[in-house]
Chains A and B, each alone.
Chain A
Amino acid sequence: MSYKFDESQPIYLQLIEIFKTYIANGAWKAGEKIESVRNLALDFAVNPNTVQRALVELENIGLAYSQRTTGRFITQNQEKINNLKHEMAENKTRDFVIQMQAIDIEQREILDLVQRCLDSEEITNQQENH
């Protein structure tokens, strides 16, 4: 896998976002063992210390935990994962709304757009592909 990072942002912050997405969409399942730092570093073609830093951050916010001998795991606490999902959804929605407001779209029009978007074939197809 080759990943394109935004060079102007710290890589570890971008890694945290990627890992959160993995947890939210279930690519990384609750209670599952996380890949080794070196393998993740190889996958993302980044420095192992950067991966380490991102994973420690993941632990600090309670999404992962370490077991001294066996490695690092995703949290088994489903509530935390749900909270993460909601938080991410809220953040993304807020960003979206701010962007819409910035180009002067009214509230009703925003809702309308969202509905139309959800109804369109393009989106439905994409979801099926997932």
Chain B
Amino acid sequence: MSTILINNLCKRYGKFQAINNLSLELDSGQIVGLVGPNGSGKSSLLRIIGAFDMAYSGEVLINGLKPGLESRKIVSYLSDKPYISDNLRAEQIIKLYDDFFPDFNKDKAFRMLDLFKLKSEQKLVEMSKGMGEKVQVLLTMSREAKIYILDEPISGVDPASRKIILRSMIEGFSEDALMIVSTHLLNDIENIIDSVIFLDSGQIKIKGSTDDLREQHGKGINELFEQIFQ
């Protein structure tokens, strides 16, 4: 059974066709990069996979389940506009997650807090944008989920933090999980993804293993991306 199976998925907002007859099959044990220009349907697709948008047509199966409460339990999701609470300290948020999510690994969260050099007694409202994103990433990665979805996890942070976040993604990734990372900063993630999906106007333009694509086209994934989307 595929971890994610999508057949003829369509999603429209009024007249705008965000996803256009998209089919996709993804198995566990890999990190997938989802890239494409703004408005290409990345976030729309991820929202549907995460069962945060149920208004679509076509077939979607997450670990064999239709997106809903049950499928959401195995998905750890970092949205592109994450927000929990300004008023809580980092340690309180970790405790909150530990309370709410049975698959949450508190030790891992505190370890990553150290790795990110964040103070557990600092409130989110006092943190910079980059620090806030790190907290969000560590919360997402500290769940022992089957599917991790990270929508633009590194867009708002400085290059040094980006490196640490990417490191934590490698560290947090387990072999029986599937991780999907959407970004427009392909350069930073191209070495850590197994395969890449180029999305354009709600359709898959190219999909394949990054090493195969490098071999086939004799150029880097980022270069290939720039060439296709010029």
The residues of A that contact B194 with a CB separation of less than 8 Å are 47, 49-50
- Distance (whole angstroms) from the CB of B44 to the closest CB of chain A: 26
* Interface residues on chain B, size class: 20 to 34
- Verify if B214 is at the interface (C-beta below 8 Å from A): yes
A interface footprint on B214-227 (CB within 8 Å = 1, 0 otherwise):
11001111110000
- Verify if B68 is at the interface (C-beta below 8 Å from A): no
Instruction: Give the interface centre of B30, B170, B190, B223 by most chain A CB atoms within 10 Å.
Output: B170
Q: Which of A10, A11, A45, A49 contacts B163 (CB 8 A)?
A: A45
The residues of A that contact B219 with a CB separation of less than 8 Å are 7-8
Task: Label chain A's interface by main secondary structure.
Answer: helix
- Verify if B40 is at the interface (C-beta below 8 Å from A): no
* Complex Cα spacing A49 to B166, Å: 15
Does the CB pair B191–A48 fall under 8 Å? no
The residues of B that contact A96 with a CB separation of less than 8 Å are none
The answer to whether A49 and B191 touch (CB under 8 A), given A7-B221, A8-B218, is no
Does the CB pair A48–B221 fall under 8 Å? no
The residues of A that contact B191 with a CB separation of less than 8 Å are 5, 11, 44-47, 50
* Complex Cα spacing A38 to B171, Å: 7
A interface footprint on B165-205 (CB within 8 Å = 1, 0 otherwise):
01100110101000000000000001111100000000000
- Distance (whole angstroms) from the CB of A57 to the closest CB of chain B: 12
- Distance (whole angstroms) from the CB of A59 to the closest CB of chain B: 18
- Verify if A84 is at the interface (C-beta below 8 Å from B): no
- Verify if B29 is at the interface (C-beta below 8 Å from A): yes
- Distance (whole angstroms) from the CB of A120 to the closest CB of chain B: 36
Does the CB pair A7–B211 fall under 8 Å? no
Q: Which of A8, A13, A38 contacts B170 (CB 8 A)?
A: A38
- Verify if B149 is at the interface (C-beta below 8 Å from A): no
**B→A interface (CB under 8 Å):** 29-31, 163, 166-167, 170-171, 173, 175, 190-194, 210-212, 214-215, 218-223
**A→B interface (CB under 8 Å):** 5, 7-13, 38, 41-42, 44-50, 53
